[in-house]
Structure 1
Amino acid sequence: MLTLPGYLVHIRKRGGYRKRFGTRFGRGMDIPVKRAGARRIWIQAVSLGEMLAIEPLLKALASDERIEIYLTVTTSTGYALALEKYSELAVGISYFPIDFYPFSSRVWDRIEPDIAICAETELWPEHTHQAVKRGIPFLLVNGRLSDRSFKRAMKLRGFFRTVLLNTAQVYACSELDRDRYVALGAPSERVVTTGNIKVDVAIEPVLDPVTCSSMRAEMGISDGFLLLGSSTWPGEEEMLIDAFRAVREHDDRARLMIVPRHAERRHEIEAMLRERASDLAFHFKSRGLPERELDILIADTHGELRALTQLADLAFIGKSLPPHTEGQTPVECGVLGKAMVFGSGMSNFRSIREGLLQYGAAREVSDEAEAIATILDLSQDPAKRGKMGEGGKAWHASCKGAVERTVKGVLSWLDR
């Protein structure tokens, strides 16, 4: 409860906090009575990224007639995406309650789950306590721990050991993640490696060339080589502007599309563009269709990255250049066969990074200068980009099966 003031400040800063705010305290939630004979699974995923990652798992579980899914999220962007994509799969969608006894207990009483699932890095102490108290299995799916998260967690090993002892099963993304959960105190027999469900994804729809061309024309970026900044963070947009200028010296039809990880940064990005790119035509997608051809499009919208990635010729993966160390997901680029460049800070995607590099699907760079040089080189060589794209598809084919293994594990708990 001591962290509540900081939590409230955080969600206020991120925006979208007023809508259904009471549900964070377990009030005003639309929770239907459980259907007779049904088994209800409560699935919690923090944000937009986790919402997209668990889509194949949601679909697989929802296809079982025995199962009802109640879905909760933490962020306003994740909530909006869940309503848009998963309303037909879930019997209800709401915000996750603040992890404090009276709020958590109230929501547990209302949802009445037979299984509780969290995705990726989430371990909520009161949430897991409520599961044990009620004799309900709590499962962590797609479990992963970045270098940074693991280092921090080891300093609080006693706390995490208690929470992990309340966890019936951890389905880990990789052997490294499995070893880290065991090091934190999870009983080894409760941690199994199932693979990363983010990798085991089918992107739909895959756009045909005519549709891609039409979309580009509509957004004012119709011709030429298109460089994508995928889920960029502060400092990386500036690098992309410099890289774009270098590309433009050799190809005056080249275009740049920036998709910031947080659309709320649009005013910050606009100020930067007015200072560093006032001679270039730029436009923010959230403001409607442009009235002219653009040099730079800022796609400050939510849930469109998979479609927009299909328009690009080369992508830079955000949050990967210093001082950032964790990286954003490169999975979509690999699945779609898009050549990509990322920095050395990809600790959240360590095994994925290694696989992409092994298959020749990506180029890793150490700093901004190397990033610009690499982007310039690849912009002038379609054959290299094509070979990298084929490597991405081969990597993806080698990684399939994580969803099937995870679903099998979850269903085994229903059968106990």
Structure 2
Amino acid sequence: MIRRFYTCCFYLLLPVIFLRLWYKGRKLPAYRGRWLQRLGWVKIPKEYQHGLWIHAASVGETVAASMLVKTLREQGDKRPIVMTTMTPTGSEQVQRSLAGDEVYHVFVPYDLPCAVRRFLDSVQPKVLILIETEVWPNLLAEAKHYDIPCVLVNARLSARSAAGYQRLKGFSRWMMRQFDVILAQTRADAERFIQLGAHSERVKICGNVKYDLSWPENLARDAALLRRVFGEVRPVVTVASTHKGEEELILRAFEIIWQTLDVVLVLVPRHPNRFAEVKKLCIKTGKAFACRSDGDDNHPDQEQQVQLYLGDSMGEMGLYYQVADITVVAGSFQPIGGHNMLEPASLGKAVITGPHVFNFTQVAQLLADANAAIKLAESSDSQHLAGCIMELLSDPDTYTAMGERGQAVVKKHQGASLATLDEIRKVMKSR
């Protein structure tokens, strides 16, 4: 009954959804393309049919999916893979990170029975792999109707999300039981899925595949070139994955820092459709400013005095972290839940976050326990952030040691990709 109500509401809201896509397309034109794919009308080449369908909502989930695909290919597994994302940024991430890995990308169909059926008829997958929290009732129902095994990979469920699902306990129980296996990141995640109704014997703990990070071989070289733009002896702080409202706090903090220290701020917004908006904020500061899209890093002699650098490019987060002495992972200064702290930690960088890291509770705790990260208190403001950064910058030995400990934490927890692929193969062999 609830699924029927949900489906009816989805159909009624479809015009509003497409209007929203059109509106988003003002700043990011890719939102106005490939709409038929969102309704399930896709033509999948024969060589990509009868394989794996992997769905990752956006950039973060795509990073996890990419690690699985790369591990699969390294093992010599050449089975066809169709990967779907919800957003254009996710699509761009697939094209960048999996170029040459023989993956076919399309947008995921909206969670409408007719759209999902059309998509399944074209793809004809042997297994459906959903990343992290992608639980869609009609997608799961139609996959079961087509006798396609469903696997939830790198599965996580915060206490807040679990409480939301509990409000629809019967419906949540039905959804959890559509999965052939749920591969949870942590024991706490596994327990929450079981409490929502998943079969306990189908919930396994495989760890977090995002620990299995790999970076391009030329990353250190590219970071050294960018560092010359700033002046090699000047400290650099990268603040990454900022959301609306966070840039103001960050810039206020650095106004305080710049009063006493000659430090470079590299600011990287989370969403590319906000690059222009954040660029205006940066220019308003009146500080010596450059941005990645202008290619100013090719003229280091002209940019030695840059104080504020906007990372307005996609697929270069590793570069922005590698060039830094200290990193701040945003999405945590507002109740958004934070972003992936493992990326800077894996590169040996000290990490600072705001108080809101509920989407990465375990990772944040592991790094904090290892004295590799600092989480600011709930009452923190720009002055607290400025003080924390200035204190760290005053002691290079401290922030270097923090980075080394964080890197050790990442290495200790690697291996989830291999365990996850083993469980997926078991599901496929059982069919």
> TM-score scaled by structure 1?
0.92
Matched, 1:377 2:391: yes
| Structure 1 vs Structure 2 CA RMSD | 2.1
Checking the alignment, whether the CA contact within 8 Å between 1:228 and 1:316 is kept in structure 2 is: yes
Q: Partners of 2:197 and 2:233 in 1: how far apart?
A: 55
Query: Offset at 1:87?
Result: 4.0
Matched, 1:409 2:402: no
Q: Partners of 2:264 and 2:372 in 1: how far apart?
A: 22
Q: Report the AA paired with residue 52 of structure 1.
A: V
Of residues 231, 234, 250, the one that matches 1:224 is 234
Checking the alignment, whether the CA contact within 8 Å between 1:309 and 1:333 is kept in structure 2 is: yes
Q: Partners of 1:123 and 1:260 in 2: how far apart?
A: 27
Change (3 A) 1:213 1:112: same
Query: Offset at 1:315?
Result: 0.8
Give the aligned length.
407
Checking the alignment, whether the CA contact within 8 Å between 1:246 and 1:376 is kept in structure 2 is: no
SS at match of 2:240: strand
Partner of 2:3: none
Query: Offset at 1:347?
Result: 0.5
Map 1:6-405; keep pairs closer than 5 Å: 6-14=16-24, 15=28, 16-27=30-41, 29-34=42-47, 40-62=51-73, 63-65=75-77, 67-205=79-217, 207-208=219-220, 211-218=222-229, 223-252=233-262, 254-275=263-284, 277-278=285-286, 280-289=287-296, 292-293=302-303, 294-321=306-333, 323-366=334-377, 367-368=380-381, 369-405=383-419
1:53-112, Cα deviation, whole Å (9 max, x unpaired): 222201122344452111111100111221233243234211101111111101100101
Change (3 A) 1:345 1:379: same
Flag structure 2 segments of 5+ consecutive residues without an equivalent. Answer: 1-10
Q: Partners of 1:356 and 1:314 in 2: how far apart?
A: 15
Change (3 A) 1:119 1:250: same
Of residues 8, 14, 20, the one that matches 1:4 is 14
Q: Partners of 1:152 and 1:223 in 2: how far apart?
A: 49
Q: Partners of 1:52 and 1:180 in 2: how far apart?
A: 24
Q: Partners of 1:159 and 1:7 in 2: how far apart?
A: 24
Which shows bigger deviation, 335-344 or 50-59?
Answer: 50-59
Change (3 A) 1:64 1:412: farther
Q: Partners of 1:405 and 1:65 in 2: how far apart?
A: 15
Checking the alignment, whether the CA contact within 8 Å between 2:212 and 2:416 is kept in structure 1 is: yes
Q: Partners of 1:110 and 1:325 in 2: how far apart?
A: 36
Checking the alignment, whether the CA contact within 8 Å between 2:219 and 2:318 is kept in structure 1 is: no
Q: Report the AA paired with residue 61 of structure 1.
A: L
1:186-223, Cα deviation, whole Å (9 max, x unpaired): 11111111111112222333633x542212335x5655
Checking the alignment, whether the CA contact within 8 Å between 1:145 and 1:180 is kept in structure 2 is: yes
Q: Report the AA paired with residue 402 of structure 2.
A: M
Which shows bigger deviation, 195-204 or 377-386?
Answer: 195-204
Query: Offset at 1:236?
Result: 2.3
Q: Partners of 2:215 and 2:307 in 1: how far apart?
A: 28
Query: Offset at 1:288?
Result: 3.5
> TM-score scaled by structure 2?
0.89
Q: Report the AA paired with residue 227 of structure 1.
A: V
Q: Report the AA paired with residue 22 of structure 1.
A: L
